[in-house]
A and B are shown apart, each in its own frame.
Chain A
Amino acid sequence: MKKEITVTINGEKRTAEVEPRMLLVHFIREQLLMTGTHIGCDTSNCGACTILVNGKSIKSCTMLAVQADGKEIITVEGLATTQGLHPIQEGFHLNHGLHCGYCTPGMMMRAVELLENNPNPTEEEIRWGIAGNLCRCTGYNNIVKAIQYAGAKMRGEQLPSTEPEFV
Chain B
Amino acid sequence: MIPAPFDYAAPNTLAEAFALLEQHGDDAKILAGGHSLIPMMKLRFASPAFLVDINNIPGLSYIREEDGYLRIGAMAREADLDHSELIRSRYPIFTDASKLIADPQVRNMGTIGGNIAHGDAANDHPAVMLAMRAEVVISSAEGQRTVPIDEFFYGFYMTAVQQNEILTEIRIPIPPAGTGNAYHKLERKVGDYATAGVAVQITVDGKGFCTYAGIGLTNVNPTPMRAARSEEALLGQKMTEEAIAEAARLAAEDCNPSDDLRGDEEYKRAMVGVLTRRMIHKALERARR
Contact surface of A with B, Cβ cutoff 8 Å: 1, 3, 19-23, 26, 42-45, 47, 50, 56-59, 62-64, 66-67, 69, 110, 113-114, 117, 128-129, 131-133
Contact = CB atoms under 8 A, between A and B. Distances in A.
A63 B103 CA distance: 16
B109 A63 contact: yes
13 contacts: A20-B7, A21-B5, A21-B41, A23-B2, A26-B2, A44-B106, A56-B108, A62-B34, A62-B39, A67-B10, A67-B53, A117-B83, A131-B190
B79 interface: yes
Given A44-B35, A58-B108, A132 B6 contact: no
A129 B190 CA distance: 11
Given A44-B106, A67-B31, 19 more contacts: A1-B7, A19-B5, A20-B51, A21-B2, A26-B2, A42-B42, A56-B79, A58-B108, A59-B109, A63-B34, A63-B38, A64-B34, A64-B38, A129-B104, A131-B103, A131-B191, A132-B190, A132-B191, A133-B103
Contacts of B42: 42-43
Contacts, number: 81
Interface in B128-179: none
Interface string B32-52: 001100110110000000010
A4 B190 CA distance: 37
A131 B55 CA distance: 26
A76 B106 CA distance: 19
A133 B190 CA distance: 10
Interface residues of B, number: 31
A47 B2 contact: no
A97 to B, nearest CB: 18
B105 A3 contact: no
Contact of A21 (B4, B31, B34, B35): B4
Contact of B39 (A43, A50, A56, A57): A43
Please report whether the interface of chain A is mostly helix, strand, loop or mixed according to DSSP: mixed
Interface string B102-119: 111110110000000000
Nearest to B41: A21
Contacts of A117: 83
Given A20-B51, A21-B5, A44-B39, A59 B34 contact: no
B1 A114 contact: no
B79 to A, nearest CB: 7
